Homo-oligomer: A and B are copies of this chain.
Amino acid sequence: MKKKLILISNDDGINANGIKALVQAVKHLGDIIVVAPESARSAMSNAITTRKPMRANFISENENVKIYTCSGTPTDCNKIALNQILNRTPDIVLSGINHGSNSSISVLYSGTMGICLDACVYGIPAVGFSLCSFDHKEDLSEAMKIAEKITALILEKGLPHGTCLNVNIPKGKVNGIKICRQTKGHWQEIFLTGKDPSGKDFYWLGGDFINDEKGIEGTDETAIENGFASVVPIKIDMTDYDLLNELNSWNID
C-alpha cells in the first residue's frame, strides 16, 4: 500500500510550537509535507493573495518530513502546496495545532480553518486542531494524542466531499472527545483607541468571545467548558435551505 501523504499547515507560522507538535504527533502515519506561513497570520479566514506574487521557500528535509514556507496567507499555503509543491494529492490536510480556540463562530475568521475549508473545495479530507489557550508555551501533549487519534481515524474512514472537522481541545487534562455542533456566539469587540506619535487617531481591534448558548448540551463551547475536546463537522455549502424555501413563497421576482 502506498504510504499516506499528509499536508500540514497553520496560521501561527512555521516557528510556532503547535505545528511542530502536530508534525511529531502524526509523522508515523505517513510522509509529511509542511507548507506554513513565514510568520503569524492569525484571523486571515480564507483570504488569498491575488494582487501581488508570493514566495515559497524550501527549508529542510529530515527523515519523512519536508518543510517549506510561503509568504502568503494560510489558504495560500494550501493552494501553493497543492499546485506547485506536491506531486500528488495529499490523503489528508491538517492544520494547527493552533494556539487559541477556533470554536463557535470563530470558524468564520480562522486562518486555521480557512486551510481546511479550502481543502474541502478540492475534496481532500481536512482537520483543523486548536488548543484553547493563547499561551504559546502551553503543554501540547493531550492535544497531540487527540490529533494523532483523529488523523488516523480520518485517514482510514475519509470524510464526505465538502466537509472538514474543526477540533478544539481544552487546556489541561482532557476528559474525552465529543461530536458537537457550532455554538451560537459573537465577539464583543473592544477597540483600543488613542493617538499615535504624530497625533493621528488609531483603532486597534480586540475583543472577548460571548457564548450565546451558555451551558447548552451538544454545542462545542459546552463540551470544551466541561473538559472535552469538541469535534464539529463543518461544511462549505453555506446555503440556508430553510430560508430558501421560505424566500420562494415571497415571490420576489
Residues of A within 8 A of B (CB): 40, 42-56, 72-73, 75-76, 79-80, 82-84, 105, 107-109, 114, 117-118, 121-122, 149-150, 153, 157, 159-160, 162-163, 176-182, 184, 186-187, 189, 191-193, 196, 200-206, 231-241, 243-244, 247-248, 250, 252-253
Contacts and interface: CB of A to CB of B under 8 A. Distances in A.
> Taking chain A's interface residues, is the majority helix, strand, or loop, or is none over half, making it mixed?
mixed
Contacts of A237: 181-182, 184
B54 A203 contact: yes
Nearest to A122: B186
Contact of A203 (B56, B109, B235, B247): B56
Contacts of A248: 179
A102 B181 CA distance: 27
Contacts of A250: 153, 157
Contacts of A182: 237-239
A212 to B, nearest CB: 9
A149 B252 CA distance: 9
Contacts of A109: 46-48, 75
A168 to B, nearest CB: 14
Interface centre among A149, A159, A179 (most CB of B within 10 A): A179
Contacts of A46: 45-46, 108-109
